[in-house]
Amino acid sequence: MSDPRVLLETDPTTGIARLTLNNAERKNSYDPEMREALGAHLDDLAMDDSVKVVVLRGDGGVFSTGADMNNAYAWYGEGDKGQREESTRRRRPSQRRRLAIDRRSFGFYHEFMGYPKATVAEVRGYALGGGFELALMADIAVVSSDCRLGMPATRFLGPALGSLHMFFHRLGPVMARRLLLTGDVIEAGELSHLGVFTEVVDDAATEQRANWWAQKVSRMPADGIVMAKEAFRLVEQLQAYQGEEVASYLFHAYGTNLQFDEGDYNFVKTRAEHGTRKAFELRDAHFEIPEP
């Protein structure tokens, strides 16, 4: 599957491949087609015996802002024709439809978490939503200190969002709860003392340091890397990650079907009235509480 928004470079002499998210005008957010193209490249590289390390990066100084919110909820489609109403009123997707789509969508992240090659994330600008998860899932992550991180979609999908086991394991229960329960977006520098990422560096040094780590890991024997990745995967599963594979898409599907009370922020309704950009501004204004 080819998509100009995902660029691939390989260097058989070093065993390093680079995947670049090339959708800078959308801050390297991705719709299902772009995500599937990225997954297809990863699948091909997994079968390439000359590749030891995959570097994931974003064009334009931005890693990724995750799923494209212009496409939010539309990714569920209309379901089977037999389930559509004859009237022009738009039908809400059924719970079974949400679960079927989310199971396939979240499979991408679970495959990346257990990917057989070493992964290095070069993270700059923004790493939000799925982009934040990819940064946390990488074996090596070099992050610019001013990079903005978080799960802002919890503000309209609810706090049980994303790979919860991974958040608690990588961020710790206190920081995980803070980011999920508030939807706050923070700078990577605030996490540097926690050892969440391999390195937190000045923005200008991010690319160079990510390449250095990729070269360092590529000196390992290819078989050793694959064996280690399978061992890492086993350790994760022994820590209950296997159950997380179901929990992540299950809670996301339920989150897209929340009931909003009067006074709650409703993203879908607000986006329909004001557009995506304004909906984000109103979302953040709704959650802005001045500190005492």
For residue 55, which of 123, 104, 103, 128 has the smallest C-alpha distance? 123
- Residue 162 belongs to a domain: yes
- Residue 250 belongs to a domain: yes
Q: Which of 31-45, 118-132, 234-248 has the lowest mean pLDDT?
A: 234-248
Report angle CA 70, 73, 79 to the nearest 5 degrees: 130
Q: How far is CA 241 from CA 90, 110, 206, 270, in A?
A: 37, 10, 30, 35
Under a CB-based contact definition with an 8 Å cutoff, are residues 91 and 84 in contact? yes
The whole domain housing 167 covers: 6-258
Q: Which of 34-43, 80-89, 105-114 has the highest mean pLDDT?
A: 34-43
Q: What is the mean pLDDT of residues 31-43?
A: 96
Q: What is the mean pLDDT of residues 206-225?
A: 97
Please tell me the distance from the alpha carbon of residue 17 to that of residue 12, in angstroms, as a whole number: 8
Q: What is the mean pLDDT of residues 208-235?
A: 94
Please tell me the distance from the alpha carbon of residue 210 to that of residue 121, in angstroms, as a whole number: 7
Indicate the DSSP class of residue 186.
Answer: E
Does pLDDT of 29 surpass 80? Answer: yes
Residues whose CB falls within 8 Å of the CB of residue 190, separated by 6 or more in sequence, listed in order: none
- Residue 275 belongs to a domain: no
168-194 pLDDT, tens digit each = 989 999 999 999 999 999 999 999 999
Under a CB-based contact definition with an 8 Å cutoff, are residues 239 and 125 in contact? no
The angle that helices 222-238 and 241-255 make with each other, rounded to 10 degrees, is 70
Domain of 38, CATH number, reads 3.90.226.10
**What pLDDT band is residue 84 in, cutting at 50, 70 and 90?**
very low
Task: Tell me which of 121 and 277 has the higher pLDDT.
Answer: 121
Radius of gyration of the chain (CA): 19
**What pLDDT band is residue 289 in, cutting at 50, 70 and 90?**
confident
pLDDT for res 250: 66
pLDDT for res 81: 46
Does pLDDT of 85 surpass 50? Answer: no
Task: Tell me which of 291 and 55 has the higher pLDDT.
Answer: 55
Beta partners for 144? 201
What is the count of structural domains for the chain? 1
Please tell me the distance from the alpha carbon of residue 54 to that of residue 48, in angstroms, as a whole number: 11
- Residue 282 belongs to a domain: no
Under a CB-based contact definition with an 8 Å cutoff, are residues 8 and 17 in contact? yes
Name the one residue in this structure whose structure tokens are 């803070």: 178
- Residue 90 belongs to a domain: yes
Does pLDDT of 86 surpass 50? Answer: no
Report angle CA 116, 118, 119 to the nearest 5 degrees: 110
- Residue 201 belongs to a domain: yes
**What pLDDT band is residue 54 in, cutting at 50, 70 and 90?**
very high
pLDDT for res 246: 63
90-112 pLDDT, tens digit each = 677 888 888 888 888 888 998 99
- Residue 273 belongs to a domain: no
Residues whose CB falls within 8 Å of the CB of residue 195, separated by 6 or more in sequence, listed in order: none
The single-letter code of the amino acid at 246 is V
Three-state DSSP at 76 gives helix
- Residue 269 belongs to a domain: no
Does pLDDT of 79 surpass 70? Answer: no
Under a CB-based contact definition with an 8 Å cutoff, are residues 65 and 124 in contact? no
Q: What share of the chain is helix, strand, coil (3-state, %, to 5)?
A: 55, 15, 30
Phi, psi of 225 (to 5 degrees): -65, -45
